[in-house]
A = this chain, B = another copy of it.
């Protein structure tokens, strides 16, 4: 029995691709396009120090005591105001990764279907797999009729199998990994499909506020607040070291999330919540966010220009209007998982696109992050990677 001590439920889930990607990566000794890390220079250290001191003086011991499972009122109110929703609809999460996990735990039974884009966020796929969900990835099409038909065909197929669709998981803004966004028309189409076929939508939008060009598109949540659960994060607009995010949802759903979160970790980190609330309230967060956007826009533009200049023919990439990533497509037959060891040996890292594809496709794709490294290191890293690719595919 001791040999069979682990849960059978999560068998395949235990082979973590994420660990495989990062096990040999020392971020300081290689050129890493791999992680989804913000740049540490966007963390306003002296303002954080001041805000922390204010929180200690203003709240005293309360800032270090257990807090409400829903989050401290100050942060819930600040998030509610920022998102334009009633405070009753806000649950603070201990990271938006926890938001993904808790939604899945509350909604999904083994065998239930979750629809996702193809590709989609690896950390979400990993969580879905741990609950033995049946993940169906659907590729995007710029032709909305084709896009809709792909969804309708998948929904029909799932119904024919006698299975339930529990929710559609979607990252509509500057998607991880592709960097691409859904148009308003596409969002409306998906929300209508969800209403017609009676499933929920989990809208994961950690990059939403990192827009470098173009106009903001309304959230899917704003189109149907009763059917969409919206997940937000402080990791990309403030600092990931605080592990704070939020969920906006229907009160009936929040009620289940509440009970689940109680058993997960009782409450989000309390002191960190007061600091985040203070940052929001005082306008420090927005002032800092403007600086981050200017910084990341420059890095995105640099990466796009470098790819244009150095990449061999047959390589294409997305042109994201915001976020932290772009997505490279290499010639048919290229295997980015296999190539990874070679790249790492040469000192450059990325994440193979295959890991983001629930249907196992995407072998000839890779995700590149442009937020983490300095412009100098981005430049050297692209030169190095392009040189390796050139000798591989030409």
Residues of A within 8 A of B (CB): 1-2, 4-10, 13-14, 16, 18-19, 35, 37-38, 40-41, 43, 45, 48-49, 52-53, 56, 60-67, 94-95, 97-98, 101, 105-110, 123, 126-127, 130, 164-166, 197-200, 227, 235, 239-243, 253, 256, 258-260, 262-272
In contact, A61 and B35 (Cβ under 8 angstroms): no
A-B contact pairs, 30 of them (CB 8 A): A1-B197, A4-B164, A5-B200, A5-B253, A7-B105, A10-B260, A14-B256, A16-B258, A19-B262, A37-B65, A38-B65, A40-B61, A41-B61, A52-B52, A64-B242, A65-B241, A66-B241, A95-B265, A97-B265, A97-B266, A98-B265, A101-B265, A126-B263, A130-B260, A130-B263, A239-B271, A242-B270, A243-B267, A243-B269, A272-B272
Q: CA separation between A352 and B60, bound complex, in Å?
A: 31
A19, B260: Cβ atoms closer than 8 Å = no
Closest to A49 in B: B56
| Chain B nearest CB, measured from A302 CB (Å) | 21
Judge whether B64 and A239 touch: CB under 8 Å: yes
Residues of B close to A64: CB separation below 8 A: 40, 43, 45, 48, 239-242
Would B130 and A94 count as touching, CB distance under 8 A? no
Q: Kindly identify which residue among B45, B98, B235, B242 contacts A264, using a CB–CB cutoff of 8 Å.
A: B98
Alpha-carbon distance A268/B2, docked complex (angstroms): 29
Q: Is the CB of B259 within 8 A of A14?
A: yes
Q: Is the CB of B241 within 8 A of A106?
A: no
User: Which residue in chain B gives the minimum CB-CB distance to A4?
Assistant: B164
CA distance A95 to B4 in the complex (A): 27
| Given A6-B106, A97-B265, A242-B270, 6 additional A-B pairs, CB 8 A | A7-B109, A13-B263, A19-B258, A38-B65, A63-B241, A97-B263
Q: A19-B259, A126-B263, A127-B263 are in contact. Are A271 and B6 (CB under 8 A)?
A: no
> Which residues in B have their C-beta under 8 angstroms from that of A63?
241
Is the beta-carbon distance between A240 and B66 smaller than 8 angstroms?
A: yes
**Nearest-Cβ distance from residue A206 to partner chain B, whole angstroms:** 12
B residues near A101, Cβ cutoff 8 Å: 263-265
Instruction: Tell me which of A48, A49, A98, A259 has the highest count of chain B C-beta atoms within 10 A of its own C-beta.
Output: A259
Q: B94 and A94: CB pair below 8 A?
A: yes
Could you say which residues of chain B place their CB within 8 Å of the CB of A109? 7-9
> Complex formed: what's the CA distance from A160 to B65 in Å?
46
| Cα-based distance from A212 to B177 in the complex (angstroms) | 54
Q: Are A270 and B241 in contact (CB under 8 A)?
A: yes
